[in-house]
Structure 1
Amino acid sequence: MKLPIHRFLLSLVLSLFAPLAVGQTLFINEIMSSNSSTVADGTGDYADWVELYNPTAANVDISGYYVTDQLSNPTKYQLPVSASLVVPAGGYLLLWASNDPSRGARHLAFALSASGEEFGIFAPDGITQLDAVAFPALAANISYGRKPSGSANWVYFTSATPAATNNNAPSFSAFLDPPTFSHASGYYPGAFTLTLTSSDPDATIYYTTDGSEPNENNPSTTFTYRNRYVEVQGQTPGPILNATLQTHTYTAPIPIMDRTLNANRVSNYSSTYSYNPPYFPSEPVFKGTVVRAKVVKPGTLPSSVVTRTYLVTPEGNQRFRFPVISLAMPENYLFGYQEGIYNAGVTFDNWRAGNPSVSVNGPGFPGNFTRTGDQWEYPANMEVFDTLSTGAALSQVVDVRINGGHTRGLAQKSLRLYSSTFFTYPFFPSLPYTNHKRLILRNSGNDWGSTMFRDAVIQGMVSHLRFDRQAYCPSILLVNGEYWGIHNVRERFDKYYPSAKYGVDPDNLDMIENHYEVDEGDAVHYNAMINYLIANGPSNQANYENVKTRMDMDNFIDYQLAEIYAANTDWPENNIRCWRLRTPQYMPNAPYGHDGRWRWMMFDVDYGFGGFNGPTHNTLAFATNSDINAPAAPARTFLLRRLLENAEFRTNFINRFADMLNTTYLPSRVVGMINEYKQNLAPEMPEHIARWKAITNMTTWDNNVNVMINFAEQRPGNVRQHIRSKFSLAATHTLTVDVSHAQRGYVQVNTIAIVGTTPGVAEQPYPWQGTYFQGVPVTIRAKAKPGYRFTHWQSEATSFSDSVLVVHLTASATYQAFFEIDPDYLYNPAPYELSYACAYEFLAWESANPAGTFPESMAFVYMNQPDPTFGATLEGFTSGPYNYLSRSRVNGLGENGVAFINTTSSDPTAVNEGYPMGKVGGALLALNTLGLTKVEVSWTGGTLTPNVRPHAIRLQYRVGDSGEFSDVLGVDNQPVEYVRNATAGHSQTFTSIPLPAQALDQPYVQLFWRYYHTGTGTSGARDQLRLDDIRVGVGACESLASGNWNNVGLWSCGRVPTFCDEVVVSPGHIIELENSGMAKSLRIEADGALNMVASGLLQLGSQ
């Protein structure tokens, strides 16, 4: 029987753990598993914490002790042995469960679960338990601790006492269970009644439907707001109005229905200093219903607040095409005259009182919305709904601020969302990382009222370049259930971005904005670099080499040319940000982002692509301006101007720009992307336009988009002319490159590989043409694919044997690279010679097989991301044993093949040797298919252990040992894939799947059975799937015509039959056999015949 309150946990603690030992020297005294604002650690972050108490008269040094949140794994994390971690006599010590030991000796390699779990501390022997506790689910900023300190009595504290005695703190012996809702959040086709229940029959349920948290002590709360402000002198401000937030006592079921036709509420609050706000919607907007409820009982701690959003519409989860984000929060936090952050409010009125004659045309003047900092950050509940299911895909507590600069004054604003943990919904499924702590719901910035996607598409078209940019996901925002229009979900550039993307320590960064504003760390290193360049001209190559150790030149060049091409003139005086990991010196062999050099980040490019300047704007001259009387300010253009004095940098800059003009910025590619973004957004635009009225109608929107298209079509020629003018280049010429065999090799021109996977290069690219500058040498490289080698270049009648040529163009020129088969090339894994052998078979793999060994021509792989999704790329081969019973691993199953499973842990040491944590990705098989015109694959997939996080195994292939994999398609033209089954032991066999033509007649082909996560959840165990009974062969050798047995062209298998082949003489075909022939079996169809000529002999069966 479930008890109504958490009093049962006290008995649970006593039953799980031994009584307190006489003379116990260390206690787990207080725990907070959801710290959002109680106490910050040394980095300013609010991490979970555990308080230790030492009741003795002597200090206790816990260096080298073990702590764990899994008592079955007592050695999960060892506190640093070298550090001095002392719990003082009669005192306290906080340990931070931040999941980031790099922050300091008191930081642990795991976080605590707010839903409750265990915590224990063990002696350095890893066996002796000093203390342990099972703590319950805790609401934000509620702690669970002993009262008195060190006693056996566990209570809840609403005012926690970190690193201090618990003896005098107000406490509660019980914590009420949250209310139960009869219906989950989600889409519903029609009206229903919602029932709320409590497990305690003596408790009372309070609820709201206006976004506020239930307040049993003040059920009717009034706040003030204003909807009319003085824009110009002489106007009379509107009155101070009142609005009420209402808490209801639950006494009967709550009717839930489609409220769209109800009067607008949230939409009718002013969000600007307009005298007559033009953005109030003329018609009712879509409305869901937000219900927030909690349970209250005198003498006990109230339950946590539960928030549910109900979207009643006959269209169900197809009502919106984008993820829907529902934010529930008290309206006064946004629109209250005194306390709001989304309105003009008292801040504007105070400014107006001191500036009565200033006319405020457009945004850019003070209001409540210009408030910044922690004190203007408010809590809210966030839920996410998408088209994949009818329920909520995410529900979590977040903190909300207004985001942006000048655009805060727009009617629709950008919001910044803070998570105390991570946002677990995959807004950006193509990214190899998912651990976002902060997100922006962006109003499209200066593009608001124009296209709503200008910044997104500008960044999207350069997502492959060598600088950081923000991922994009359009969404629909509901504020307290009411439609709030399109918001673009974007990554936020702060210390957590490089941490998530590159794995650097977020608390060991320098990050600066707009050249001098320090966001993280300091500007000492940056200023030293600038000062060095001032004193040491980079035209001296040695000086330039020095600067290359301080900043990433490739990153800087790409960043500069992208801003210049886009004609973004809200830069470089504004919207410029760069970062570095703080290292004692340049570390050239460190992973990307870890070498201590400065790197730049693109954001807020709404001025670009016709936003404020047309395609003829000379942004190169703007970005290199040295005139103090003209923009951009010379101090802001100094870095680019100074570096252009160096010949190497100048050549690289010009050639990289030319490369991008020939690929990334091809009008056909850019216009195609603009239209793709437009088509994606178009179905949602009419409702957004009706809500905000910033765009007149869809015709206006189309015209705004066409401005971007016109820019894309005209920009390349203008930029080339700007480059010629800036660097005094005489002309441009067409360079044509070609290859003898596209499957054998390719050409790299400067920085771009001329292959179909390079953005802006056609799938079948040869012959390829690009435009380059006379006077700037172009480097072309012949690149042989695995299994081939370069022989020579041919240009008209001239041949060149060097694979790398430096071309000085004075006229158009053509170069063709020739390749041949390389008989000495060594592949890994070595290919199975399918062309000359029987079918390949993988039928068993033993758990006792030596670590790091693989089946013939196979390898087991790990990927470049934990919990690999479909977009993960291969990182390496596993090297571990096959008999592990836990953690990420590949298991040998004997005649049942192999099994794959991933696990993760917050402890980076909790890994199996040879298996990087959470990265197991499947199996590779290498084949040689030269001479073959048909290859068929059969295999079995199975579910060994079904779990919460769903996985699949998909069959893919690639030619060679590098590049992207492509799906192998079945007869239904769909990917061949085994999808986990809910039943353990389930299996499915795929038979006679033909490989595509691209994989035939190749010296090296890799088949990839990709094991990957198909879901969106980020908690729970993963499926363990198995792979078995792989058979790859040429299929039956069927005659294609009448003729001689030994004619290779006669047979569908692409070779003269061997003992491996099942031979079929097709209907009506007459086959003549001279001398001897071989076959595994022979079948002669109707009207077919095999004629033995002279001494003809056919041997059947095995050799």
Structure 2
Amino acid sequence: MNSRIQALLLISIYSLFNIASLKADTTAQASLEKNPTTPNEVIFSQPSGFYKEDFTLTLSHPDNNITIYYTLDGSEPDPNNLKGSTYRYKNNYEQPPNKPKDNFLYHRYKTYQYSQPILIKDRTNEPDRISQISTTFDEKPDYFPQKNQGSNNTNRIIKGTPVRAIAVNEAGVKSPMITHTFFIGSQEEFHLPIIALTVPEKDLFGYDEGIFVVGRDYDEWLATEPEQLKPSRASSTPANWHRKDKVATRKNAAMEQLNLNQESPNLDVKISIHGNGSRMNRDKSFRIYLGRYQSLAHFVPNGSSLKELRFNFKVGKRKTNNFITFITDTAAQRIIAGLSFGTQNSYGYRNIFLNGEYYGIRNIQDVKDTRYIHHFYHLNHRKKIELLFNRSNNEIPNNEYHLPILKGSFQEWRKINQAFEQKENQNINFAQKYIDINSFIDYYIAEIYLANRDWLDNNYAFWKYSGKNRENNPIADGRYRWLIYDLDATFRESNTNSLEKTTDINDRQYLFTFIFSTLLKNPEFKERFITRFSDLMNTTFVPDRMVRVIENMKQEVEKDVLLHIKRWKSPISIEAWQDNINIMVNFARERPAIQYQQLQDFFKLDDTYQLKVAINDQAAGTVKVNTLQLGLKDNELTKPVAASSAAILMEQVLAFPWQGRYFKELPLKLEAIPKLGYQFSHWQGEGFTQEQAINPILALQPKSNIKLVAMFEKVNYVQ
């Protein structure tokens, strides 16, 4: 081969190699563009929290070829919003029969390209922003805090700085967004833990999209010349907060808890408005939705176990803004925890900051849904849980009363009610095929005793598990059990006769009163109901225990209540708040005598007698009285199958010597239960025979006061 041919061959091979390399490079670039690598997150020089003085915050990234964008107003960083945008809102809404006006106000939100450190300073004395936006359909809202006029203004709204940042690479791919909130001052000024929420303002307060305002939906309704609604139907007024689209009404939010001298957790979550009629309140309750694998670790004690659940952040609803305690629902739930139904746990109160601005006190609480049931009852398949509940119908904006809205499949429940119309089925044996009788009785007793004024045709819930019970879990036997929730309307009027209400069979309440009122005519069920009611009034509902729970809850929030009042003017003063707490305490002390009288009148019972029970040796044994086991500590109590939580603060009301009040001539059952190393000897007292005295089980029908002492003795083991 001559040199010329050899050279041409080498050139050809080299060209083919270059073409192949170029093609490979082009293919790789196309692949990169098709599947670009997501940049790492932006690095903040300081973590969220409180700082003693102003400082500069540095944002950085390991890749020098990326661009960092950030915001300071809660909006999500957007490279296309460097010039800023606005959203519209309203502070004054016309009332029927007037037509809506175009009296819009505007707020600006903007993204910045990072080029130098950001000055973090105390923003408290800057103009208020969120607190100057109407969250009601008032023509002239009267709850805005006074505008700041100086550092000594006691009505100042405390503010921090929310910083949200993303990194964008040369291909335009964005990193995950990081949010941190910074305050200048001392966290020790607050007594409750702090949660900082960061949400684009327009998602909550915008006229067009905001879910915390009446907004466009109200004005569109107003333009149709509607009739003016009565106060009792005001919650039916159309508003943005009534929107049903779950996708549109669940907004993206960042949630941080600023733990003093500890790790501050940070989650990207969803937020929506919470409540039914309470949505029209000025200070909204809201709901947080955890995502997959997310938990409340570092937010609450044992929070790592609370995975993929939903939580309400509640203020507490009320008919007027004057009656608010923050603690009514929570105190009621804690008092009845450990009874045979599901209760909503409280995970503590928090001071909430929204986009760095103080937003008030909220209580973190379980959400009543199938996730809650699946989690607390350890069931295998969430989709096999059938949850049924009702709520008041506020979807029709007129002055007529409407049947409650039913959620869940009521078809089987209707058939059970229809079967109960047959006399041969009106007994416990038939009922317990379909319902957990203990759960049924405890649930009605709790609602009746606490005098819930917002119940039966609203806030009534029960459930069952329809899956296979492969592990012989008693909760998965396919029977209905009850859940109690929304007890804000309890503890009001101690003379309320809720028992009469539960036997009122009308169209609005038929599905929730017929079986109960029918069973009350059955002697066995009636006796069981009265006995259990008496047992609970002698323990769970003892006034001193109830007051102790109320006082504990009061102490938890009272040091920060004034902050909430200054933000919302609700309640109207710290004195008004204390008055509301006193109403609860008075209810707890007055209710027993009234409830005994109502039971006596309703069932035409005889008078009551005092039962006193003691034992000769605290270490030797316990005594069971009807459904109660005395002498136990909280951690020794057996949690009922249908209970979601254990009882608390029961030790004192179960302690020996013990006394209770019961109705004369109704059966009374006692059982002496020896502990290991002891045996029952005999009963001391009057009202029983000598033969009965040596039997550990006593069945009596006392007609007068009775005092009993269970005598135990050590077992002498034969060597």
> Does TM-score exceed 0.5, indicating one fold?
yes
Q: Within the alignment, does 1:821 sit opposite 2:714 as a pair?
A: yes
Match of 2:158 in 1: 286
Q: Which whole-Å deviations, capped at 9, do the CAs of 1:766-785 have from their partners, x for residues lacking one? A: 22110001232111111111
Relative contact order (C-alpha < 8 Å, sep 6+): which is higher? 2
Match of 1:82 in 2: none
Map 1:601-680 onto structure 2 (within 5 A). 601-610=483-492, 614-626=493-505, 633-680=509-556
For the 8 Å contact 1:433–1:500, the answer to whether it is kept is no
Give the match's secondary structure for 1:593.
helix
The structural deviation recorded for 1:258 is: 1.9
Q: Within the alignment, does 1:435 sit opposite 2:319 as a pair?
A: no
Q: Within the alignment, does 1:739 sit opposite 2:629 as a pair?
A: no
Q: 1:428 to 1:172 in 2, by over 3 A?
A: closer
Q: Which whole-Å deviations, capped at 9, do the CAs of 1:213-261 have from their partners, x for residues lacking one? A: 1000122121111111013545874611221110011111111122111
Q: Which whole-Å deviations, capped at 9, do the CAs of 1:648-672 have from their partners, x for residues lacking one? A: 2212211111111111111111112
Q: 1:635 to 1:300 in 2, by over 3 A?
A: closer
**Counterpart residue identity of residue 420, structure 1:** G
Match of 2:218 in 1: 348
The structural deviation recorded for 1:369 is: 1.1
Distance 2:546 2:716 in 1: 42
Q: Which has the higher helix share?
A: 2
Give the match's secondary structure for 2:514.
helix
**Counterpart residue identity of residue 438, structure 1:** R
Map 1:845-884 onto structure 2 (within 5 A). none
The structural deviation recorded for 1:679 is: 1.6
The structural deviation recorded for 1:634 is: 4.1
Give the match's secondary structure for 2:309.
strand
**Counterpart residue identity of residue 671, structure 2:** R
**Counterpart residue identity of residue 175, structure 2:** S
Distance 2:303 2:675 in 1: 28
Q: Within the alignment, does 1:326 sit opposite 2:201 as a pair?
A: no
Match of 1:188 in 2: 51
Bigger radius of gyration? 1
**Counterpart residue identity of residue 311, structure 1:** F
Q: Within the alignment, does 1:373 sit opposite 2:249 as a pair?
A: no
Match of 1:579 in 2: 463
Q: Which whole-Å deviations, capped at 9, do the CAs of 1:792-840 have from their partners, x for residues lacking one? A: 2222385412211112021111121111123469xxxxxxxxxxxxxxx
Select the residue among 320, 328, 344 that pairs with 1:470.
Answer: 344
Q: Which whole-Å deviations, capped at 9, do the CAs of 1:910-969 have from their partners, x for residues lacking one? A: xxxxxxxxxxxxxxxxxxxxxxxxxxxxxxxxxxxxxxxxxxxxxxxxxxxxxxxxxxxx
Map 1:490-639 onto structure 2 (within 5 A). 490-504=365-379, 505-514=381-390, 519=407, 522-540=409-427, 544-583=428-467, 590-610=472-492, 614-626=493-505, 633-639=509-515
Select the residue among 404, 417, 423 that pairs with 2:288.
Answer: 417
For the 8 Å contact 1:756–1:763, the answer to whether it is kept is no
Distance 1:709 1:537 in 2: 45
Q: Within the alignment, does 1:222 sit opposite 2:86 as a pair?
A: yes
For the 8 Å contact 2:291–2:308, the answer to whether it is kept is no
**Counterpart residue identity of residue 822, structure 1:** V
Q: Give the stretch that moved more between structures: 450-459 or 786-795.
A: 786-795
Q: Which has the higher strand share?
A: 1
Distance 1:705 1:208 in 2: 42
**Counterpart residue identity of residue 369, structure 1:** W
Give the match's secondary structure for 2:207.
coil
Match of 2:362 in 1: 487
**Counterpart residue identity of residue 319, structure 1:** E
Q: 1:279 to 1:766 in 2, by over 3 A?
A: same
Match of 2:396 in 1: none
Match of 2:184 in 1: 312
Counting aligned pairs with the same residue, the percent is: 31
Q: 1:401 to 1:154 in 2, by over 3 A?
A: farther
Q: 1:221 to 1:703 in 2, by over 3 A?
A: same
Q: Which whole-Å deviations, capped at 9, do the CAs of 1:312-346 have from their partners, x for residues lacking one? A: 21x23x23222222111110001111111110100
What is the TM-score with the length of structure 2 in the denominator? 0.85
The structural deviation recorded for 1:589 is: 8.2
Give the match's secondary structure for 1:354.
coil
**Counterpart residue identity of residue 325, structure 2:** T
The structural deviation recorded for 1:266 is: 1.2
**Counterpart residue identity of residue 237, structure 2:** F
Q: 1:277 to 1:171 in 2, by over 3 A?
A: farther
Q: 1:236 to 1:689 in 2, by over 3 A?
A: same
Give the match's secondary structure for 1:435.
coil
For the 8 Å contact 2:297–2:303, the answer to whether it is kept is no
Q: Within the alignment, does 1:709 sit opposite 2:585 as a pair?
A: yes
Select the residue among 653, 657, 662 that pairs with 1:767.
Answer: 657
Select the residue among 229, 233, 258 that pairs with 2:122.
Answer: 258
Match of 1:795 in 2: 685
Distance 2:570 2:227 in 1: 27
Match of 1:1004 in 2: none
Select the residue among 630, 649, 654 that pairs with 1:754.
Answer: 630
Q: 1:806 to 1:764 in 2, by over 3 A?
A: closer
Distance 1:430 1:809 in 2: 47
Q: Give the stretch that moved more between structures: 368-377 or 779-788.
A: 368-377
**Counterpart residue identity of residue 480, structure 2:** W
Q: Within the alignment, does 1:408 sit opposite 2:276 as a pair?
A: no
**Counterpart residue identity of residue 480, structure 1:** N
Q: Within the alignment, does 1:807 sit opposite 2:691 as a pair?
A: no
**Counterpart residue identity of residue 529, structure 1:** I
Give the match's secondary structure for 1:561.
helix
**Counterpart residue identity of residue 474, structure 1:** Y
Distance 1:310 1:222 in 2: 24
Q: 1:684 to 1:514 in 2, by over 3 A?
A: same
Distance 1:378 1:626 in 2: 41
The structural deviation recorded for 1:175 is: 2.0
Distance 2:206 2:416 in 1: 47
Distance 1:728 1:432 in 2: 52
CA RMSD of aligned residues (A): 2.6
For the 8 Å contact 2:97–2:225, the answer to whether it is kept is no
The structural deviation recorded for 1:391 is: 4.5
Q: 1:154 to 1:484 in 2, by over 3 A?
A: farther
The structural deviation recorded for 1:467 is: 0.9
**Counterpart residue identity of residue 144, structure 2:** F
Q: 1:795 to 1:539 in 2, by over 3 A?
A: farther
Q: 1:298 to 1:432 in 2, by over 3 A?
A: closer
Map 1:69-108 onto structure 2 (within 5 A). none
Match of 1:111 in 2: none
What is the TM-score with the length of structure 1 in the denominator? 0.56
Stretches of structure 1 that go unaligned for 5 or more consecutive residues are: 1-147, 157-169, 826-1103
Stretches of structure 2 that go unaligned for 5 or more consecutive residues are: 1-23, 147-154, 392-403, 635-648
Distance 1:563 1:237 in 2: 45
Distance 2:696 2:578 in 1: 49
Q: Within the alignment, does 1:399 sit opposite 2:270 as a pair?
A: yes
